[in-house]
Amino acid sequence: MNLIEVMVCGAILGLFMTIVCHALVVAYRTYTLTTKKSTDYRLATVAVDRLTRELRASDRVYSPDPATTPWSTFGSYIPEVGVNPPLVFRTYDSTGERVLGYRWDKTARTVQRMLYDPTFDPANTATHNVLETKKVTFEVDNFAIQRMDPALTSGVPFLLVEMKLSSVLSPILTEVRVKSL
């Protein structure tokens, strides 16, 4: 073999290795992105399912704004940190009575679940003591709760929960029957 044949073989081998390495990098990036989207979607569906279960077990969903008539409008309510109060409700489970709240942090793009002191009174801000805050899902572009028109639900109070993730095209929607608003 002469020097020209070795150089041509080396160039062909280098080109082939570049193509293979590029394909491996693209495959790894695609795998990582798909895994992240899947994880975000799974966490969001688990959070919405948990919120749904807790709302169904609640005996009282408090008005987001105590100064207004509870759920007086049928528009969407966005429990955004720093803008609106969280969605707060009293529920019961095997551990007893609990007051829970959910809110959306737009800057961190997370939904948080808060456990309040059981002495919570919506009219008295001194009793709004948060005992625990936990981020339940990430990459959230929008989180809204809407009271559904009772004329459409045979007079039964329903809430529509909507969560939009940045990595998923369609929002996660669920309708929740509650005992009282």
pLDDT digit string, tens, across residues 140-167: 999 998 888 777 888 888 888 999 998 8
**pLDDT reported for residue 24:** 97
What residue spans define the domains of the chain?
Answer: 40-177
In the Cβ-directed half-sphere of 78, how many Cα atoms lie within 13 Å? 13
HEC string for the chain:
CCHHHHHHHHHHHHHHHHHHHHHHHHHHHHHHHHHHHHHHHHHHHHHHHHHHHHHHCEEEECCCCCCCCCCCCCCEECCECCCCCCEEEEEEECCEEEEEEEEEECCCCEEEEEEECCCCECCEHHHCCEEEEEEEEECEEEEEEEECCHHHCCCCCEEEEEEEECCCCCCEEEEEECCCC
Strand partners, 90: 60, 99
**pLDDT reported for residue 121:** 86
Which mean pLDDT values do the consecutive 10-residue runs of the chain (181 residues) have? 88 96 96 91 91 88 62 73 86 84 92 91 86 92 86 83 88 86 69
* Model confidence pLDDT, tens digit, residues 17-35: 999 999 999 999 999 999 9
